[in-house]
Amino acid sequence: MTPNRVVAVLTPLVFAPLAGAVSAWLARHAPGITVQKDDVQAVFIGGALIALAPALQWLHGWQKYEAREADKEQAVEVATIQTAAVEEAAPAADDSGGFDGLDDFDDFDDADEFGDVDEPDDELFADEQLAGTRD
């Protein structure tokens, strides 16, 4: 059980009544203090309220601490996501030498440059034809 839950549960059930009882006992039995029997209940309530103030301050500080920790965790997650996004985007932006679709084939639009491609070159196939007839 976390400390904030211990304080939240035990303060109203144990600590505040115990502080009220101790303050009422001191009001009746401490030397030099004169408290009438009708005012002992007010002393008990005052002692209990004195115990509640530090508990409330503890809980308030604990909630602020948890909020700061949650902000730190969220900042780490955001930084991790941003780093991953930058790493994924970096190769795509630096991909200048790769295939960009059909834009790379714009230089081959002129069929005149490849006019000799349709006609086979007899010199290249001469050795193969001779090799096939020898067997």
Average pLDDT, the chain: 79
The answer to whether the CB of 4 falls within 8 A of the CB of 59 is yes
Q: Per-residue pLDDT tens for 25-73?
A: 999 888 888 888 889 999 999 999 999 999 999 999 999 999 999 999 9
Q: What is the pTM of this model?
A: 0.50
Percent of the chain with pLDDT over 70: 67
d(CA 51, CA 19): 6
Instruction: Break the chain into its structural domains and give their ranges.
Output: 3-98
Residue 21 has pLDDT above 90, yes or no: yes
d(CA 33, CA 35): 6
Taking residues 124-128, what's their average pLDDT?
61
pLDDT band at 123 (very low <50, low <70, confident <90, very high): low
Q: Per-residue pLDDT tens for 62-101?
A: 999 999 999 999 999 999 999 988 888 876 544 555 555 5
